[in-house]
Amino acid sequence: MSLVEINFDGVVGPSHNYAGLSLGNLASARNARQVSHPRAAALQGLEKMRANLRLGLHQGLFVPQPRPAHQWLAELGTTLERAEPGLRANAMSASSMWAANAATVSPAPDTADGRTHLTVANLRTMPHRSHEWHATLAQLRVAFRDERHFAVHGPVPPAFGDEGAANFMRLTEQHGQPGVEVFVYGLSGGPFPARQHLEAFKAIARRHRLDPERTLFVQQSEEAIAAGAFHNDVVAVANERVLFAHERAFEDKGGFLGELSSRFPSLEYVEVAAAEVSLDDAIRSYLFNAQLVTPPDGRTTLIVPEEARETPSVWAWLQRHLAGNGAIRRVEVVDVRQSMANGGGPACLRLRVVADPATVDPRFLVDEVKLDRLKDVISREWPESIHPDELADPRLVSQIEAARTALLGALDLSELR
């Protein structure tokens, strides 16, 4: 069995809108009530996947969830037509596009039973995301249905908030070898909630049957959360031997790095000093909400959004690092502006799964031909623009529902309707 890293990107759904629902997400608040462009957003996402394929990476996808969330509204005793505007917006969110929050994934080499374990995130902190897990779990159980190779778990009970792989990192010599799994939790974020609870991650580590000697729990910096780093992947990202982080990412940086180095001696730690790139610049540019990958040519590559190139301090730091032949050897820039405007960069859009592609349902894996087919569907079916005041318009709702149905048809995934 050949284990490789597969990046599963969420296709941006046809209800993509800027309702400003995510407390602590500064981009979401900054762009609240602006006009969104779902078609452009989804096409940008496809081009990001295509760029990964061209680097030689393995690429998969998750489909948008049903919107409106009729069942959730019914449980609240209302309908989209009768719901107040705030509740209506929560039921129309396309935030499942950020697949990094779909689940926490422990690859087979790390687990006692030799299977890849996935626990779907409960996302309990934010109402618009709290109802996502049902549809996410349904997709995971289809994509990873082979129980010889995968164990798919339901969510941690909602007493403890869990936001998935956006707060998870793994260090390893190679993807197919055992690694050290790092679970990053929050305790406080000043005016903003700490979304990832320690007890949730401890439960996931037990479920996934991880070796305690290769498992670390580390507190995210309160300063970082208060500055707008609502997930750890806004201030830190890891891949194989490299941990790339802002100086202010962790509450006890010294203690954490000492413990990590003792368990993973080949660690390559790359730090961006606050004196060179402020937390504000790091968060606004999403320098760390990037994909850190190793293409077949072996050159560790950082995939950043256009906003990183447009932030002088960030781009200057990257150029200095590359000139010095550091651990990161190449930077690729992608345009995901529609996602960025709602607070999600390249890393938010993907869930990393280490697996043999032959064990995954092939309908969730993509190549250039499949991406061309999806581009045709999106260009034809997705709304061109949405203002939050339009979310109850029956014509828009019908278009959104028809667009998703067309996409499922193109992927032969009608069982997810």
| Nearest to 45, CA basis, from 5, 95, 97 | 97
Separation of alpha carbons 24 and 31, rounded Å? 13
For helices 368-381 and 38-54, angle between their N-to-C axes, nearest 10 degrees: 170
Do strands 103-106 and 116-120 pair parallel, antiparallel, or not at all (unpaired)? antiparallel
**Closest to 299 measured CA to CA, from 100, 61, 57:** 57
DSSP state of 357: G
Give all strands of the β-sheet with 215-219 in edge-to-edge order: 168-172, 179-185, 215-219
Q: Where are the alpha helices (DSSP H) in 163-237?
A: 198-207, 222-227
CA 201 to chain centre: 17
Residues involved in catalysis: 163, 231, 348
Task: Record the tokens describing residue 357, joined without a space.
Answer: 């592609």
Nearest to 167 by CA among 128, 111, 122, 214: 122
Is residue 99 within 8 A of residue 352, CB to CB? The reply is no
Residue 291 belongs to what H/E stretch? strand 291-293
The DSSP secondary-structure symbol of 287 reads: S
- The CA distance from 213 to 374, in Å, is 44
Q: For residue 7, list its beta bridge partners.
A: 59, 352
| Contact yes or no for 33/20 (Cβ under 8 A) | yes
